[in-house]
Structure 1
Amino acid sequence: MNQNSKISEDTIDLKELFFSLIAQWKIIALCVILSLICAMLYLRVTSDIYSVDAMVQLEESKGAASAALLGDLSKVTGGFGQKSPVDAEIEILRSRMVLGQVIHNLNLNLIVKDNSSGIMDKFLSQGRSRLTYQHDAVTFTNKQNSLIIKQLTIPEYYSDKPLILEFKDSNHFTFTYKDQVVFNGKLNQKNTSETNKGLWAVDINAQGELLKQSYTVSKLALPTAVKNFNAIYGVSEKGKMTGVIGLSYLGQDPEQITQILNNVLTVYHQQNIERKSLESKQTLVFLEKQLPELRKQLEDSEIKFNQFREKYKTVDVNAESELLLKQNIDLEKLKIELQQKQAELSAKYTNDHPLIRQIDAQISEINKKIADLNNRLTQLPETQRLYLQLYRDVKVNTELYTSLLNSYQQLKIANAGEIGNVRIIDTAVEPVHPIKPKKLIVLILSIFMGGFIGVLIALIRNLFQTGVKDSAQIENEFDLPVYATVPRSPIQETRMSILKKKKSIPILAVKHSDDIAIESLRSIRTAIHFALSSAKNNIIMISGPAPEVGKSFVSTNLATIFAQSNKRVLLIDADMRRGYMHKYFNLEVTPGLSELLSQQVSLEHVLHKTNVENLDVISRGKSPTNPSEMLSSTFFKELLETLSPLYDHIIIDTPPVLAVTDGIIISQYAGVNLMIARYAKSQMKELELSVNRFEQAGVKVNGFILNDIQRSSAGGGYNYAYAYTAQKDN
């Protein structure tokens, strides 16, 4: 083998690869069609999925309660407004606090499935069943029939477990778990029962043909229901640092998913307001507790002060005493305000928080100043000191009570007007078009997928077809010429599988003399003419390494081509085991060569004239038990010597060389020995063994014919834009 052949074996011929795919276009087209059918079936049985969306905005708010209560005091504390992080709000929107309430409101923890509906039912049915969730019931409808579950309270043991709902008659139903009845009840009324597993409370209504069916009913535990909800529920921030959160929800029922997402917005907004008003509620609790006590202190201090004045009449108060009294009143007022702020902040923070500790430090400092003032008051004269103490108590209690009462009223108003820091921008709107399956995309992808699978199968087939694919392989390996490369005939292939079952097969060279396969065989005439010029006789033997390589096709049409060129030709079917050449000429299989070699009949009885002028045929005859012995007999040799002068060409079709020895025997009498190799089927090893057998018998193979070409070969000079059909033996 030369260097060029080695290089060609190691490289990929893209042109050959392309035309090998073109030759297998039927497989690719079939895969595309099957893929399209699967896609259409998928679209038929798959329910449309819709999506709804909504948006909420988080606003920075200091809180109406704080502003109403503190007033100027907020400046002292420095303002404690806190911005709610978006990430925290997203987690709240996914929490059991919000979703659990939505699931409870709409009974989303109930799942009902019709056990009688399968894939075929989905494919054949026009109307789909529908499961509707409402606050007071879950309704399963199918056409005009409905199953309504108004209440389903089950023991915790059966949560997340499939319960089979069946109807005994039009009035009774049962729940079954693992083939065991766990509950019996009556339709259209509430049923309660206490079992060892827990309490059952069931209220079911059903009507129509639904009573003839069974259903799988599952009540999900809260964690499972929330997990399932989050699987089709999306929450994310729109952009970065925008404070706008987008919500989305998927489902098959546009009206239902719109209702569910709007319920999520309602529950979330309510809890946000409650969370924001918690500060006001905490302060109101403190004020409601302090106001009665402070009022009682005010009344007691007024009584004592009035009694003192009646006893001592009027007492003058100097400027120093007035100053001490005013300072004491201001400190007491500031102290009570700080205590109110401390109560407010305790709703948000623990006692160790810096803000709480700062308030505690301020209260301690005020207590020290009050104690110092009280100490200075003790240094005044007895009557004046008592007067100041009583007057201070009345004044402080009056101002504190008035201030707290005013704050209480303002706080009640602020609490009633609390709106939270969440603003709903877009509510969920019922969608019109489904988001999936995207039918056009599915169909386009199915075409590409089918084409890809078809090409893959074609490449795999091409990969496993390790036979001869180039005439150069044969010439380089055996140093023998390839007389012709015969492409597939598009006419012969479409009919061969049918015609072989009939009694007659049309000859391609007669019916379609312009066929591309016949044109290729015509090119052999010149090569055979030169081969016969140096041969010992005019006998041409055509053989092959294995069955179904096209020996009979080539032999019959080659003989016809010679006859059409005014040559007297004799065609002998020497395959006495499986030959079917008689079908080409509409002859009976007997009498034939086997009867002639066994000397049962004479030559005149087996020599048949055909419809092709100048062409005679000897059929194989009845299958003998010893065909090899007959062919190796002296009578067969003498027969060929007798017939050779009577014809210009004698063409003998032989059995496969590797199967039997008949071809080797006949080759000893032939002047030209041709070997048929079939494209992509005949292996190089088979050809090598066949050539070796001829050489062992002292016979030389004159050349090859490469049959059934299925591609475009630049080296062979062919360029076929369509797939040709195969011609082969049985």
Structure 2
Amino acid sequence: MSNTSVERGGKSPGRVASLSNEQLDLKRLFAMLLAGKWWIATCVGIGVLLAIAYLFITPYVYTADALLKIEGGGKSPLSSLVGQGLDGLSGGSDAALSEIPIITSRSVLGQSVDDLNLTINVSPQLLPVIGEAFNDPQKTINVSKFDLPENLENRSFELSVVSPNTYRLAQTDGSEILTGTVGKTATGKTPAGNEVSLLVSSISADVGSSFSLSKRSWLSAVNNLKGRLAVVELGNGSGILQLSMTGRDKSYVPKLLNSVAKNYVQQNIEARSKDAEKSLDFLDSQLPKLKQKVNAAESRLADYKENNQPVDLSSESQALLQRASNLERRKSELKLEIAQLTEQYTSEYPAVKADRRQLNQISEQSLALQKKINKLPSNEKELLSYQRDVKVNTDLYTSLLNKAQELRVVKAGTIGNVRIVDPAVVPLGPTSPRPKVVVFALTFLGLLVGLGIVVLRAFLKSGVNDPAELETHTGYSVYAVIPFSNWMAKESRKRAGRQDQPEPILARDHGDDVVVEALRSLRTSLHFAQLESGSNVVLMTGPAPGVGKSFLSLNLGYLLADADRRILIVDADMRRGHLHDVFSKSDRGYGLSELLVDQAGTEDVRRNVKGTNLDVITSGQIPPNPSELLMKNKFSKLVDGWRAEYDLVIIDAPPVLAVTDASIISGSIDKIITFMVLHAGEHPMPEIDEAIARFTRQGGDIAGLILNRYKAEQATASYGHGHYQYAYSSDKS
């Protein structure tokens, strides 16, 4: 090739050294996402479909809750006698927290298990996975009793509806056990001889409906109920407990929770009634003794007044009397409290220890007060002592009488220290799954996955898309950027496998395509290249197969022929050439291989594209030694003859990195213009470098590069630059 051509292929000044160092900007990111819009849309669509499928097959779960108020439990029934000293001992949070284990105890939950027959499990027989979506909650069958031996517990049986009032119980293998009527107990035996008793109270299902029936142990039912029940205190020290429970039946869950709350309240009333009974027995044993003390104190006071002259107590003595009476009364109350508590608890019980601490404090106060009393005159001191005994014993006796009356009310079992503030009600909607949350979450997840795929594909894709980068890196000019043709891709897919339909020629069959305009630009660039080199022979090759060099050769040739020039296209790819598909897909016919081995003449292998100045010599039959045939002098002589006969000869050669045919052709023909055709986005830069280096090492000379199948959005997404290409057709309106 002439020096002029080499200068044209010189490096472009002012280009950026390498786009690999460019920073990711918003434009590049937007273009990247735009290029992968179908990936994103597909992933979002899959996310929406998964959300719909999840909502379709997942049963709804409902949550009901109730509120209980604990009115300072844990005190002794006699604690009110002691005064305010023990108020902080067992109220508020401690009382509420101590009640949680009682609520979840077997005694409370077991009662609900018995009341609602929770040991019996009846569920409709559904299809796996999707069956729940077609379940009708209105179709039910109520079983009131199901008695069977322990060895058959947790075993499933089939309960089917025979008629609106009759049913059939069978084993899962179909062996009938019994048939029965609604409202009547039916009995039967299993094939193994185990007796089974069943009572169905109602049927609300179609004839032929089947249900799975099983019975579990009482303890297993209690543990299951305990696992579904949650109890927490609302606020620190509030004494308010929240009970919550989940389940699939929104009407049954509040019923079950209210049963637990009711049984707990009833248990609390019964427990307080028993405590009251014990305290009442204790008081009944103490009241006679205390009455005797009252009588004895009154007698001593009366005797003193009778035998001594009346004495009026001073105001100071009356104040000391009042204080001494209060202290003695509280001491007596504490002693009674301690005596009552020690009948149920050990001496280490917190309430017992607290009472004793307070008793010690009051005793110390009494000693201090007694010292003041000892300083009074003897007659006042003696009278004060008698009056104090009468007042203390009388007040204590009266207080115990009132307490005994209160305990008789408590014993009657009508009150407790727990009340239901809010009973459970039917929930308005499910707690899970929440349709809006599920759809949003999976849609957002699909969006993230789609974005991740797009970004990952963009950064893993090492193929070069940018013409500027090619020119900067290789030093060769990009003569043309040929966009990807959607029309050509659709037509090729449509005609694939159909032997009766030849391949289309884009420039002929869809001339207003933007790709054709790009080919016209290539035609213009080729014209100037010819003027500079003085050659009318063009070689099309590429690094690897599938770059589209045959497409370019054919359509460029058609456009040149359309400009009243005689054009010849030679398919020199005698291994995988397919230019014959334009004429016939089923017959390769005679071509270049036959011409080189003298099996045919030029007129025998030359084919004309009808109505044009374009002739095509196809590759012919596949020979065993293509490279050797091209190395013969005959090929160069044939090209010299065609050079004289045609205005332009285009040779479609095999890829450079696959075989050496392109280098052989370039070395055997003088003044040949060679274009390296690249598939946009497919070739890494090292592959392009190797193709150019290998071609030049073997004596070839490259005029320039052609970037084929260019997609602007992909190029911008990968490199941040685009190639400007516009459609500019005539206004047909």
The interval holding the TM-score normalised by the smaller chain is 0.7 to 0.9
Aligned counterpart, 2:429: 433
Q: Distance in 1 between matches of 2:539 and 2:84?
A: 119
1:555 aligns with 2:550: no
Deviation at 1:536, TM superposition (A): 5.6
SS in structure 2 of the partner of residue 682 of structure 1: coil
- Specify the alignment match of 2:479 in structure 1: 483
Q: How does 1:496-507 map to 2 (within 5 A)?
A: 496-502=492-498, 503-507=501-505
* Structure 2 CA distance for aligned equivalents of residues 154 and 10 of structure 1: 79
3-state DSSP of counterpart to 2:493: helix
Distance 2:723 2:283 in 1: 104
Using the TM superposition, give the Cα deviation of residue 118 of structure 1 relative to its aligned residue in structure 2, in angstroms: 0.6
Give 3-state SS (helix, strand or coil) of 1:449's partner: helix
Equivalent position of 1:165 in the other structure: 157
Shift, 1:406, TM fit: 7.1
| 1:309 paired residue number | none
Q: SS at 1:44's partner residue?
A: helix
Summarize deviations over 1:471-501 as a string: whole Å, max 9, x none: 2343233221121222222212233233343
Whether 1:10 and 2:21 are equivalent positions in the alignment is yes
Gaps of 5+ in 1: 131-142, 302-315, 324-329, 366-396, 723-730
Relative distance call for 1:149 and 1:491 in structure 2 (3 A) is farther
1:457 Cα deviation from its structure 2 partner? 2.2
Deviation at 1:643, TM superposition (A): 1.0
Residue 234 of structure 1 corresponds to: 230
> Following superposition of structure 1 onto structure 2, how do residues 194-593 of structure 1 map, counting pairs within 5 Å?
203-204=197-198, 215=212, 217=214, 219=216, 222=219, 228-229=224-225, 231-287=227-283, 319=305, 340-346=336-342, 350-352=346-348, 353-355=352-354, 357=356, 408-416=404-412, 419-502=415-498, 503-535=501-533, 537-585=535-583, 588-593=587-592
1:603-637 Cα distance to aligned partner (Å, 9 max, x none):
12222221352222122222222222222222221
1:653 matched to 2:652: yes
Comparing both chains, which one has the higher relative contact order based on Cα–Cα distances under 8 Å and sequence gaps of 6 or more? 2
Answer yes or no: is the 8 Å Cα contact 1:279–1:344 preserved in 2. Answer: no
Report the counterpart of residue 602 of structure 1 in structure 2.
601
Which AA in structure 1 matches 2:65?
D
CA contact (8 A) 1:342 1:359 kept: no
Alpha-carbon distance, 1:644 to partner: 0.8
Structure 1 stretch displaced more, 430-439 or 551-560 = 430-439
2:594/2:600 contact within 8 Å kept: yes
Secondary structure (helix, strand or coil) at the match of 2:518 reads: helix
| In 2, Cα distance between equivalents of 1:716 and 1:409 | 96
Q: Deviation per CA, 1:312-334, whole angstroms, max 9, x where unpaired?
A: xxxx97857899xxxxxx99999
Deviation at 1:33, TM superposition (A): 2.1
- For residue 710 of structure 1, what is the aligned residue in structure 2? 711
**What does residue 57 of structure 1 align with?**
69
Deviation for aligned residue 1:109: 5.0
SS at match of 1:472: helix
| Equivalent residues of 1:64, 1:414 under 8 A apart | no
Amino acid at match of 2:426: E
Are residues 554 and 362 of structure 1, via their aligned partners in 2, closer, same or farther at CA, if it must alter by over 3 Å? closer
Amino acid corresponding to residue 11 of structure 1 in structure 2: E
Instruction: For residue 293 of structure 1, report the CA deviation from its aligned partner.
Output: 10
Q: Deviations over 1:420-461 (max 9, x none)?
A: 333322111112322322223322333222222222223333
Q: Out of 137, 143, 149, which is 1:148 matched to?
A: 143
Identity rate, percent: 34
Shift of 1:532: 1.9
The structure-2 alpha-carbon separation of the partners of 1:719 and 1:287, relative to structure 1 and needing over 3 Å to count, comes to farther
Deviation, 1:286, is 2.2
Aligned to 2:373: none
Shift of the alpha carbon at 1:151?
A: 3.6
Out of 36, 40, 65, the position equivalent to 2:48 is 36
Greater shift, 661-670 or 413-422, is seen at: 413-422
Any idea what SS the aligned residue of 1:467 has?
Answer: coil
What SS is found at the alignment partner of 2:515?
Answer: helix
TM-score scaled by length of structure 2: 0.74
Check whether the contact 2:75–2:90 (CA below 8 A) recurs between aligned residues. no
- Which residue in 1 is equivalent to 2:683? 682
TM-aligned CA distance change 1:129 to 1:75, over 3 Å: closer
**The 10-residue stretch of structure 1 (446-455 or 166-175) with the greater mean CA deviation from structure 2:** 166-175
Q: Mark the CA change 1:318 to 1:593 in structure 2 (over 3 Å): closer, same or farther.
A: closer
Structure-2 separation of matches of 1:322 and 1:185: 97
2:115 counterpart of 1:105: yes
Q: TM-score, normalised by structure 1?
A: 0.74
**Cα distance 1:78–1:471, how it changes in 2: closer, same or farther (>3 A)?**
closer
Q: Which residue number corresponds to residue 694 of structure 2?
A: 693
**Distance in 1 separating the partners of 2:570 and 2:339:** 119
Q: Secondary structure at the match of 2:692?
A: helix
Deviations 1:572-594 (CA, angstroms, capped at 9, x unpaired): 22222222222235585312222
Report the 3-state secondary structure (helix = DSSP H, G, I; strand = E; otherwise coil) of the residue aligned with 2:678: strand
Tell me which residue corresponds to 1:47: 59
Deviations 1:271-295 (A, max 9, x none): 3334444542221232456689999
Deviation of residue 541 (structure 1)? 0.8
Q: Do residues 119 (structure 1) and 115 (structure 2) align?
A: no
1:525-571 deviations in Å (ceiling 9; x for gaps) = 23322322243631111111111111111111211222223322111
CA contact (8 A) 1:175 1:184 kept: no
Instruction: Report if the CA contact (8 A) 2:17-2:472 is conserved.
Output: no
The alpha-carbon distance between structure 1 residues 622 and 322, as it changes in their structure 2 partners (threshold 3 A), is farther
SS at 2:712 equivalent: coil
Partner Cα distance (1:210, 1:521) in 2:
76
Kindly indicate whether the alpha-carbon contact (under 8 Å) linking 1:151 and 1:201 is maintained by their aligned counterparts in 2.
no
Q: Which sits farther off after the overlay, 106-115 or 23-32?
A: 106-115
- The amino acid across from 2:661 in the alignment is D
Q: Name the SS for the 2:473 alignment partner.
A: helix
1:19 aligns with 2:27: no
* 1:679 aligned partner, one-letter code: A
Counterparts of 2:394 and 2:471 in 1: how far apart (Å)?
A: 124
Q: Tell me by how many angstroms 1:172 deviates.
A: 6.5
3-state SS, counterpart of residue 253 of structure 1: coil
- Name the amino acid aligned to 2:282: F
| Cα distance, 1:111–1:210 mapped onto 2, change above 3 Å | farther
Cα offset for 1:192?
10
User: What does residue 389 of structure 2 align with?
Assistant: none
Alignment check: 8 A CA contact 2:148 2:197 kept: no
Root mean square deviation, CA, Å: 4.7
In the aligned structure 1, how far is the partner of 2:330 from the partner of 2:523? 126
> Post-superposition shift, 1:707?
1.6
CA distance in 2, matches of 1:466, 1:78: 81
Partner Cα separation in structure 2 for residue 567 and residue 347 of structure 1: 124
Which consecutive residues of structure 2, in runs of 5 or more, have no partner in the other structure? 1-10, 296-301, 310-325, 365-392, 728-733
Provide the rounded CA distance (Å) in 2 between the counterparts of 1:237 and 1:720.
71
| Residue pair 1:486, 1:706 contacting (<8 A) in 2 also | yes
SS in 2 for 1:163: coil
Can you list the C-alpha shifts for 1:294-321, whole angstroms capped at 9, x where unaligned? 99x99xx9xxxxxxxxxxxxxx978578
Change (3 A) 1:175 1:107: farther
In 1, Cα distance between the equivalents of 2:461 and 2:273? 80
Structure-2 separation of matches of 1:29 and 1:608: 47
